Structures are given as structure tokens and as C-alpha cells.
Amino acid sequence: MAQRVQTDWVLFFTILGLVGFGLLMLYFFAFRLRLFPVGGYGTLSHLVLPALTVALPWAAWYGIVLRSNMLDSIAQDYARTAAAKGLSRWTIAWRHLLPNALAPVWVSATFGVAGAILTESGLSFLGFGVPPPAASWGEVLKQSQTYITYAWWLVTFPGAAIFITVTAFNLVGEGLRDAMDPRLRQ
């Protein structure tokens, strides 16, 4: 029991470290080394940093959700039944606990994609996203805001595309939640 608690704490603080690591990357690479796309660089290597800055905190969040679900699954009757049947700890973890703990992570991932789209669009709109040769809905909105009084469609269609895409990912997440939740299958 003590080893499990120590392992749990090590994993928890590792995940918390990943949350702050994305912000540290943003600070050092963007402001100290001037390697963020704001500097006008247009190569593919300069697109990796914003992607990692957005993705690492989300990966840490999924780790926290998976950890929580694994701890909940350990206390369920099916885990105790599998242990009573004499199955090894690895078999119980891989065949019984992990599939049940991953379902909420998949659902959360679809909501995370929607959030990443909104984050990238917002950063591009503010001028902190990908450089202008690359396509971004936020950059399109930023460039077309001066024409809103007489060319409303330049703002409306990219905004509608962001809205439809984010709504679609949210609806897929709701559908996955309904399909994977055993309490809702009745």
C-alpha cells in the first residue's frame, strides 16, 4: 500500500510539472530566445513551439483524469472480482481497469481539440499565432476586421467555420460520452 501511495504521488507531481512546463517553454523560447512565430519566422520548426505550448498542459490534464479514473476503477467490484479469480496485477490493469478508465479520457480529448482550436484562433487573432503565410482562422479574422463595415462576409464565414468546427467536436464528445457510459446504455 505504501509503495502505491508513493508511486501515486510521484506520478501526480510529474503531471503537475508538465502543466507548468508549457508556460516555461512559452516564456523562454518566445521572449528570451525570440523563437516564437511572432518574430516573423515562417518555417515548420517555428510551428512546433506553439503546438507544444498548447498540447503539454492538455496532456498533463489527461494524465490527471486518467489517474483519477484508475483510482476509481480500482475500488470497483469488477476489479476485486478479477483479483479474487487470481489474475495478475498487470492483467487486471490492462484488461479491466485501463479500458474503463480511458473512456472519459477519449471524451475529454474531443473537448480538448475544440479548446485547442479556440486557443489557436484566439492567439492568432491577437498576433501570437502562426505567421501570415500559414492559414489560420484567427489570422483571417484579424486581417478582415478592418473591412467589417462593407464586407461583412470576410468576418462572418471564418467565425462561422470556427463555431461549426468547435460545435462538431463538442457533439462528437457528447456522443462518445453517451456511447461509452454504461449507466446511459439502459
CATH code: domain of residue 114 = 1.10.3720
The answer to whether the beta carbons of residues 75 and 148 sit under 8 Å apart is no
Residue 122's pLDDT is what? 86
The residues, ordered by sequence, that sit 6+ positions from 134 with a Cβ below 8 Å of its Cβ are 42, 47
At residue 156 the predicted structure's pLDDT band, cuts being 50, 70 and 90, is: confident
| pLDDT bucket at 38, cuts 50 / 70 / 90 | very low
On average, the pLDDT of the chain sits at 76
Q: Cα–Cα distance between 116 and 47 in angstroms, integer?
A: 14
Question: How does residue 37 score in pLDDT terms, banded at 50, 70 and 90?
Answer: low
N- to C-terminal Cα separation, the chain: 36
pTM of structure: 0.64
* Among 114, 134, 112, CA closest to 124: 134
Q: How many domains, the chain? A: 1
Give me the domain span that covers residue 178: 2-184
The two counts, helices (H) then strands (E), for the chain are 7, 0
pLDDT at 1 over 60: no
